[in-house]
Amino acid sequence: MASTILLYLIGLNRRKGIEKIDSLILAIKNGKQISVEEIKLDSNLEIIETNLKEMFKKNQEDIANMKRLAQARTDFLGNVSHELRTPIFSIQGFLETLLNGAIDDEKVNRRFIEKAMNHTKNLDVLLNDLIDISMIESGQMRMLPTYFNISEFINGIVEELESIAEDKGLKLETKFYDKEVLVFGDKDKIKQVFVNLISNAIRYSDDGPIIIETKDNNSKVEISVKDFGCGISEMALPRVFERFYRVDKARSKSVGGTGLGLAIVKHIIEAHGSKIDVKSKVGKGSTFTFYLRKKQ
């Protein structure tokens, strides 16, 4: 008799436990607002309690991530349309002025056509950046890494960009710790990194020089692009790698930036299994540093 009562009580207890588990799973499934402390089972069901708590936390993180992604997508679309609007409106404006008579005015017609042309070039740069970003973010960026001589490579890029720097009265300098060292990377992508970083250094500096330096760093080569330009405030610094982020919207607009360059640079470096850092002081200048694997 006693054993029957005991079995009944155990059964009752177990049923209560199962009902509690069931109601918790239902609450989680329906996305009910519960706190993790509310997930409490009897001490003999400790493992199930721990698992339920983990499942609940994961669920909450997934929902938060989804919301963040949805927001990011909306922001991205908003930014893209905003950036497209400026060149398209400008082109439209010049064409309209030309059609309304300026085409016969020899003093301005050529200039207006050239201006419209320049805006189509800006559009092209923007679209290429957008294609890069979407390829990278959807995991479609194909990497073709090889070993190459980093000093020769930098010299080639410096030669290409020298005249742009000189137009602003800036000098490009190089410092190599070892002229023979080979690094592993996708040359086209790494070129894009250098062009972006050096163009920024030129864009955001009025005084030179701009120094491109390599240093030995164990199994890697440390590469930095240093300028003595306007610098970046402490508040803005963590955000410069975000897409469309510009510290001074007015200033970088007047020099033609859309805020995609560093986002692309960061993606490329991360696709190489590496990282990029920035150090900067307002009014003193900035140094961007990244690492590439070295041939041993």
CB of 105: closest distance to ligand ATP in angstroms?
33
Task: Give the CB-nearest residue to Mg ion.
Answer: 261
Q: Exactly one of 130, 229, 267, 268 binds ligand ATP (CB under 6 A); which one?
A: 229
The yes or no reply on residue 290 touching ligand ATP (CB under 6 A) is no
CB of 230: closest distance to ligand ATP in angstroms?
5
CB of 143: closest distance to Mg ion in angstroms?
22
> Looking at beta carbons only, is 252 or 289 nearer to ligand ATP?
252
**DSSP secondary structure letters along the chain:** -HHHHHHHHHHHHHHHHHHHHHHHHHHHHTT----GGG----GGGHHHHHHHHHHHHHHHHHHHHHHHHHHHHHHHHHHHHHHHHHHHHHHHHHHHHHHTTGGG-TTTHHHHHHHHHHHHHHHHHHHHHHHHHHHHHTT-PPP--EEEEHHHHHHHHHHHHHHHHHHTT--EEEEES-TT-EEEE-HHHHHHHHHHHHHHHHHT-SS--EEEEEEEETTEEEEEEEE-SS---TTTGGGTTSTT--SSHHHHHHTT--S-HHHHHHHHHHHTT--EEEEEETTTEEEEEEEEEEP-
Q: Exactly one of 136, 223, 260, 268 binds ligand ATP (CB under 6 A); which one?
A: 260
CB of 100: closest distance to ligand ATP in angstroms?
32
The yes or no reply on residue 200 touching ligand ATP (CB under 6 A) is yes
Q: Which of the stretches 113-121, 125-133, 161-169, 253-261 binds Mg ion when contact is defined by CB under 5 A? A: 253-261
Q: Give residue for tokens 């003093």.
A: 107
> Looking at beta carbons only, is 182 or 285 nearer to ligand ATP?
285
Q: Exactly one of 83, 132, 186, 227 binds ligand ATP (CB under 6 A); which one?
A: 227
> Looking at beta carbons only, is 151 or 287 nearer to Mg ion?
287
Residues in the chain: 296
Q: Exactly one of 240, 268, 276, 292 binds ligand ATP (CB under 6 A); which one?
A: 240
> Looking at beta carbons only, is 119 or 246 nearer to Mg ion?
246
Contacts of ligand ATP in 105-144 (CB under 6 A):
129
Contacts of Mg ion in 166-205 (CB under 5 A):
200
> Looking at beta carbons only, is 116 or 230 nearer to ligand ATP?
230
Residues 6+ apart with CB under 8 A from 203: 252, 255, 256, 257
The yes or no reply on residue 229 touching Mg ion (CB under 5 A) is no
Q: Which of the stretches 67-75, 101-109, 156-164, 199-207 binds ligand ATP when contact is defined by CB under 6 A? A: 199-207
Whole-angstrom distance, CA of residue 244 vs CA of residue 239: 10
As a whole number of angstroms, the longest Cα–Cα distance in the chain is 113
Binding positions for Mg ion, rule: CB under 5 A: 200, 261
Binding positions for ligand ATP, rule: CB under 6 A: 129, 196, 200-201, 204, 227, 229-232, 240, 245-248, 252, 257-263, 286
